Amino acid sequence: MIDKPIIDGKKMRLSFVDIKKAYFNGIPKRNVLMRLPKELGLPSDKLGLQVRCVYGTRDAGAIWEETYRSVLEQAGFQCGTSSPCVFWHKERDLTCVIHGDDFTTLGNDENLDWYEAMLARSFELKIRGRLGVGCEMKEIRILNRICRIVDDGLEYEADPRHVELLVGCLGITNASSVNRPGLKPPDPSAEIPEKVNEPATTVVGAAPPDV
């Protein structure tokens, strides 16, 4: 993603932002009733009417998508044509990719400061950090994967826990590792000599006498 670490003399960074309680920012479009927890001490025949979207309701995800899209477009972002989860701000040269409540955005420090402040006016944020040349942070976990800055650019590593899960499922946790797949050449002295001129069939017992 950081194919050009410096543009117009400004270093490019990746900003990682997490929106807290994302679905609660959406307003339901239909009347949804829910049973109230008994800890409230209310009669059991009382129900609650949702005034905010709640995790687990069918349309909460779609409403959250409409909510953040509205905020970004009002700030000057354009929604992507190939994917509605990609946004671009032409004037500020910001590219944003969204997955649920995780916002990953590429830009220089000045424009990222503006972007994060803009989001904070609408949502409760957790600023997880930035990656880029000269940043104190060198790696970050995003969507169960690891992004890290290396000498020749940005490295994207799959979740190391996947290997552990696969090894456990196959029952080879205590197996020895090898440099490459395959078997070692067998010891010639341990080979079983090939039998020559064996009959095609084997006599199991004598034939019965003629009757």
d(CA 85, CA 61): 13
C-alpha torsion 116→122→124→127, nearest 10: -10
* Close Cβ partners of 144 (under 8 Å, ≥ 6 residues apart): 159, 161
Question: Do the beta carbons of residue 91 and residue 76 sit within 8 Å?
Answer: yes
Predicted confidence at residue 178, as pLDDT, reads 72
Position 160 scores a pLDDT of 76
pLDDT of residue 211: 46
Q: pLDDT by residue for the chain (211 residues), tens digit each? A: 455 555 555 788 999 999 999 999 999 999 999 888 889 888 888 999 999 999 989 999 999 999 999 999 999 999 999 999 999 999 999 999 999 999 999 999 999 999 999 999 999 999 999 998 888 888 898 888 888 888 878 888 888 778 888 888 988 888 877 777 666 666 666 555 555 555 555 545 555 555 4
Residue pair 104/96 in contact by the 8 Å Cβ criterion: yes
Q: Say which DSSP state 134 is in.
A: T
pLDDT reported for residue 143: 86
pLDDT given at position 8: 53
Q: Which tokens hold the place of 24? A: 């609660």
